């Protein structure tokens, strides 16, 4: 098992740095371009949610991303020490949300937020969220489906 920890400041402009790094790790371990892009998107969503909701946009806070790889999976932990995720959002992350068909003209009525959690839920193979003392931990797992022959 290989492991790496990345830490960024709670600044939205730093999210792309960690997302691109995660994408390249995915490519390096044998994920195809689509899988790597999906994981990159999920990390960008998770880190953005931490900054916007756990830290309320306040800079100077720590967002920690731990990446570990095994033969058949990539595991990522996104950790923060901010406001915990509300129970309804945890439920959406873990269990998903109902898909609601909305007429194009009614899209403005859709509730802002929560779409990132649904994206994470849909694209990752396993997702968990825990709160331990003051630490919030979102764990994401993606199974590796290699396209290359070894």
Q: In what order do the strands lie in the sheet containing 73-80?
A: 2-9, 62-69, 73-80, 135-143, 126-132
pLDDT digits (tens, 9 = 90+) for 63-72: 999 999 998 8
Residue recorded with tokens 């920890």: 5
d(CA 32, CA 46): 21
d(CA 43, CA 23): 9
Domain ranges in the chain? 2-143
State which fold the 2-143 domain adopts. Heat Shock Protein 90 (3.30.565)
- Provide the percentage of residues in the chain whose pLDDT is more than 90: 70
d(CA 24, CA 7): 17
pLDDT digits (tens, 9 = 90+) for 29-69: 999 999 999 999 999 999 999 999 999 999 999 999 999 99
Residue 26: per-residue pLDDT: 95
């Amino acid at each position: 098992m290989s492991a790496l920890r990345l830490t960024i400041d709670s600044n939205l402009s730093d999210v792309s740095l960690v997302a691109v790094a995660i994408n390249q790790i995915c490519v390096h371990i044998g994920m195809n371009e689509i899988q790597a892009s999906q994981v990159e998107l999920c990390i960008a969503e998770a880190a953005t949610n931490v900054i916007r909701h756990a830290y309320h946009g306040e800079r100077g806070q720590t967002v920690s991303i731990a990446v570990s790889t095994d033969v058949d999976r990539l595991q990522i932990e996104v950790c923060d020490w901010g406001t915990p995720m509300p129970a309804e959002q945890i439920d959406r992350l873990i269990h998903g949300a109902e898909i609601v068909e909305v007429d194009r003209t009614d899209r403005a009525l859709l509730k802002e937020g929560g779409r990132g959690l649904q994206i994470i839920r849909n694209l990752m193979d396993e997702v968990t969220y825990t709160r331990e003392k003051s630490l919030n931990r979102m764990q994401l797992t993606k199974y590796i489906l290699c396209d290359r022959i070894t």
